[in-house]
Amino acid sequence: MAIFTGAGVAIVTPMKADGEVNYEAFARNIEFQIENGTDAVIVCGTTGEASTLSHEEHLNVIRFCVKQVNGRIPVIAGTGSNCTETAIYLSREAQKAGVDGLLVVTPYYNKATQKGLKEHFTLIANAVNIPIILYNIPGRTGGVNILPETIVSLCEEVPNIVGVKDATDNFVQYAKLMALAKGKVDVYSGNDNQIVPFLSLGAKGVISVLSNIAPQQTHDICAKYFEGDVSESARLQLEAIELIGALFCEVNPIPVKKAMNLMGLEAGTLRRPLTEMEPENAARLEKAMRSYGILK
C-alpha cells in the first residue's frame, strides 16, 4: 500500500523576520492544509528550505510537524543529504519522531554513479524500517539522474524503498519507468503542471508546491481523476497552469512564500542565499493569483 495517494503538500518552513523558524505560523499553516483536503504533509523538502536549516532545526521542524498533525494524515520527512552518513542520521531521528515515511533526495555535488546511488539509498533504507520515497530532481543535484532501471532495481531489492518523486521534467523517462515498474514503484509527480499526465500512466499523486496556497484544488485534481472524472481533473489542471507558471518564475520557494504572505498565511522571510522576488515577477504572481480566485 502506498504511503499516500493524492496531493501531498511540500510544505514551506515559515520564518520570522530574524530568520528563526516561526512555529506558531507553521501550526496554523498545517491546520490550513488539513482543513482543506491535503492528503499528506511533506516536511523539510526543497520547498521547506531544508538545505539552510541546521541539523537541530531540521529535526525540530520534523518533530513539531509530527506532533501538530497528530496522525490525521501521513507525514513524510525529507532527510536526504549528499553525505550518506548524514542522511542516515537524519533518517533515524525522523523515524524516532514518528514520521510515516521519508523522502530522500539524490545526492548533490558529489555526482555519484548509478552504483553509488544504489549503495547510498540502500544504506539509508537499511538503517530504518519505514518506507522511503526517492527524490529524483537532476536540476537541483548537478544533473545527477536516477535512471529508471536503478529505481526499479532499488524498489525490487530493498523492501522499504517503495517509490519515487519524479521531478526530472523528462516525460519520456517517466514513461519508461512506468513500463519497467509494472506496478512495483509508487510514483509521484514532482511538477504541479504535470499531475494529470502522470496520473494517466499510473502515478499515485503529486508532491506539490501549489498545495501550499491551493490545497483543496490540488487535492481535487487527483481525487477527480481517481473517481474516473478525467475531464474534470484535466479542467482543474489546466485552470491552474498560469498560476503554476508564476509559482516557478523564480526558484522555488521564493514565489510560493510570496504568495502565502499575500494570502496572510505567514510564510515569512527566506533564508539566504534566497532573496525576495523581483517586482515584475511579484506582479505576475499576484495577477495569476487574482485570476485563479485565491486572492481578492
**CA 99/CA 194 separation, integer angstroms:** 27
Phi and psi of 8, rounded to 5°? -100, 135
pLDDT tens profile 130-183: 999 999 999 998 899 999 999 999 999 999 999 999 999 999 999 999 999 999
Nearest C-alpha neighbor of 87 from the set 47, 132, 154, 41: 132
pLDDT tens profile 230-243: 999 999 999 999 99
Q: Which of 108, 118, 165, 204 is catalytic?
A: 165
**CA 282/CA 219 separation, integer angstroms:** 25
**CA 62/CA 75 separation, integer angstroms:** 9
Using the 8-state DSSP alphabet, how is residue 212 labeled?
A: G
pLDDT tens profile 29-85: 999 999 999 999 999 999 999 999 999 999 999 999 999 999 999 999 999 999 999
The pLDDT confidence band at residue 6, using thresholds 50, 70 and 90, is very high
Q: Which of 135, 188, 225, 292 is catalytic?
A: 135
pLDDT tens profile 244-286: 999 999 999 999 999 999 999 999 999 999 999 999 999 999 9
Note the pTM of the prediction, 2 decimals: 0.97
Contact 75, 65 (CB under 8 A): yes
Would residue 89 show up in a list of annotated catalytic residues for this protein?
A: no
Residue 295 CA to chain centroid, in angstroms? 24
| pLDDT attached to residue 1 | 79
Would residue 135 show up in a list of annotated catalytic residues for this protein?
A: yes
